[in-house]
Amino acid sequence: MSFMEEFDHLKIKLQDIISATNNFGRNNLIGHGGFGQVYKGELVLPNGPTMVAFKRLDRKLGQGNIEFYKEILMLSKYKHENLVSLMHFCIQDDEMILVYEHASRGSLDRYLGDASLTWSQRLKICVGVASGLSYLHDPTETHQRLIHRDIKSANILLDDNWKAKVSDFGLSKAGPANQMQTFLFSNAVGTPGYCDPLYFETGFLSKESDVYSFGVVLFEVMCGRLCYEYRNGHLTEILVHKWRRCYEENRLDEIILRGLKEQMESGSFSTFSHIAYRCVSKAREERPTMDEVLKELEIALEQQEVYKNLEMKVDIQEMIKIADQAIAPLSYETQEQLFRLFLKGIFVDDGTTWLSINKNGEICEMISATKCVSWGERYASEDSRFFNVVMCSYNGFKVKVCTQFLSPNVTYTINLVFRISFENYEVQKAIGTYVSCTYKLEEETHYLNSSNATMREDGWLVIPLYRFISYQKKYDFNISIFPLLLNWPDTQCSIESIEFRPTDTVTHENLEHNYMEDMQTTSASRINWEQKLPNDYTDLIKWSTYSIQWTTKKELYFLLRKGFLIDNGEKWLSISKSMKKRLMIPAMEFLPEEKWIRKSLPESRFKVVAESPDTDEFRIAFKIESKLLSPQTTYSCHLIYKPPENYSLIEGPIALINQSFRYPRSLYLIIPHITNIRPMFDHKSDKQLNTDKVKGHPKVRKDGWMEVQLWEDKIDSTGNIGMDLSLNGMDIDGDYNFVGLVLQGIELRPL
């Protein structure tokens, strides 16, 4: 078959397989199915001995050449971390054998009834399968939509780390390109119990047929058993109808695997069971897309992980003591229910203090202005969490605030939460968040200038005043505050609260420059470098502007980690530790060439960088092909730059504007100054205040450039990916100027 010539590099000799499997010995037999028997064995590959799986075709079982060649074609074309990888194949002496990566833990059906496979593990497996199926269902420039047609727990393989791999593509069907909906007519195939009843009855196949099959698997994962019953070698009952009825009648407790329900966070269970039920809807149009399923399962996993994390970090007895002080009695029976109440927030102190916890179990304490502001008219505000707020004039006010509940060894930021009101609405609209203040502690002699305010989702403004590490629950602060609106005598300042919020820190680091450290820590280990490479690494190499030279897969791995120029030197591509693509786009690709100054810098990846003209605003707009990023992956977008010699021109906040933002967001190109109370390094603790780790702050990279995150979002796998942002200097006096700012580009980094 001439079309197979492009796969010649995957061929291996039968004798190598016979040696690896001890002549297909029984001790090497690990499974069987409609295709034939599966054996394990060790092949000597360029990177060393590697355990693999051999799938040996048995024509007596009904499948043959067509399914064999289809499997090769599909797995060479569709590559994803949650699809099983085809490594080699053999056609020799009447033998037809496929060689896959070895999934050491076998198939999911073996573990359904084992309660030691935790709910968190089950959720991660389901998220992995949904990610793989979402990739197959969403056509891109590189592949058409593929409908698997035989999704079942026996076709979901698990590796050492319990990562799911969808397998067995012999029955799959590809749909036409460039069609959002695919309906194919074919003879119904698949496995009873998993096969979509509509497909079975009508012969019309759609991607929703896979959704139905996967919904059955979700119920199996939850119930801890297969979806059918066999007696005396005959199929006697399919359980899906019963499971669906139990959901509708709120009787899921009757069918959930014993020992599993106790592990489930109720929100996670509710999210999971609801999406599973939607998947097995009788009507095709009522079933969700696989992308929807993936998002819901990720939510269920996050809900479960938060609960699990809180269990380990929270002092439950201390939390119960605080709950007893709530102004309205709290109704809870379980630890999980108590966590949910605190994640939402509770009132104590006659409604003048609002307490909540974050995902790390750290307490956020908000103290009403009616309790801590010395002077001002009190009035009810419908959009405040407190019963009353305090209205102060522009002449300033004093705050005397006492905390009672702070978590120990946590970095806190003291925030002023307020709102400015103008008699003239047009003035208020123009001012927006261009509001700041001066302030000082009672023991200080000089007033400090604050950064401009940022706006919360509820419309209240926030100004950070101080930062400190807590060593106890109770602290007293006396602060004098003057809003800087002296030119607007018709303004009024409404103070909602003083907030003590645990400082958000960066949870992901830029590992781009750590590939050498990775090399040092892994070079001595016995590693299968082939498996560390992304499935589409051969395509990535072809994209390189210059010829890539390498002799071993280890060399290639670190070369891909470091990165290389693509698109005639116009972009920089590399891979992350998790084998996801990361992309850097040069500044001159998204900036107007006639305004920005082109210049060369030896430390830049690109031939030219862009230097800002005399301006207080600029726009970032670009589109890239989706194939340059990894599908179903959340990316963060970072601006890579060098500040001008005169730092003072860009010290204030920048308004970041996009149509999808409800309000403009603010960011800084120079780390904003927030005064730290007490020494940076306290003798009571080895914990240090690190402003570089504060989420949203700019930081210095290892290559000498600076970076700041603009946004993060999940990348769809279809069409082009675009961004359109405006950056405006937020200086009411008009002193903000980007002149001298040097931009290298934008980096899209997988999280």
Q: What are phi and psi of 576, to 5 degrees?
A: -90, 175
Give the chain's end-to-end CA distance (angstroms, integer): 43
Angle of helix 290-313 versus helix 119-137 axis, rounded to 10: 160
Are 413 and 467 in contact, with CB atoms under 8 Å apart?
yes
675-676/461-469 β-pairing: parallel
148 closest CA partner among 127, 164, 170, 130: 170
Is 79 marked within a binding site? Answer: no
- Angle (CA) 477-478-484 rounded to 5° is 120
CA distances from 273 to 113, 180, 270 (A): 18, 27, 5
The one-letter amino acid code at 611 reads E
Contact by Cβ (8 Å): 15, 95: no
Q: Other CB atoms closer than 10 Å to residue 420's CB: what's the count?
A: 20
Residues 6+ apart with CB under 8 A from 139: 145, 175, 177, 178, 179, 718
- 10 closest CA partner among 120, 99, 93, 92: 99
Which H/E stretch holds residue 97? strand 95-101
Residue 469 to residue 685: CA distance in whole angstroms = 9
For residues 89 and 72, is the Cβ–Cβ distance under 8 A?
yes
CA distances from 629 to 585, 635, 636, 715 (A): 12, 9, 12, 8
Strand, coil or helix: 120: helix
DSSP state at residue 597: E
The strand ranges marked E within 503-628 are 564-566, 571-575, 581-586, 597-599, 609-611, 617-625
Distance CA 75, CA 73 (A): 6
Instruction: Tell me the C-alpha distance between 375 and 281, whole Å.
Output: 61
The CA distance from 710 to 731, in Å, is 20
In DSSP notation, 685-722 reads -S-B--GGGBTT--EE-TTS-EEEEEEEEEEPSSSEEE
β-sheet bridge partners, residue 444: none
Amino acid at site 534: P
3-state secondary structure 425-439: HHHHHHHCCCCCEEE
Q: How far apart are CA 204 and CA 546, in angstroms?
A: 48
Tokens encoding 680: 């940076």
Cβ-defined contacts of 352-356 (< 8 Å, 24+): 352/386, 353/404, 353/405, 354/385, 354/386, 354/497, 355/322, 355/405
Q: What is the distance between the alpha carbons of residues 315 and 312, in angstroms, rounded to a whole number? A: 9
Q: Which residues pair with 564 in a beta bridge?
A: 573
Bind-site residues for ATP = 55
Bind-site residues = 55
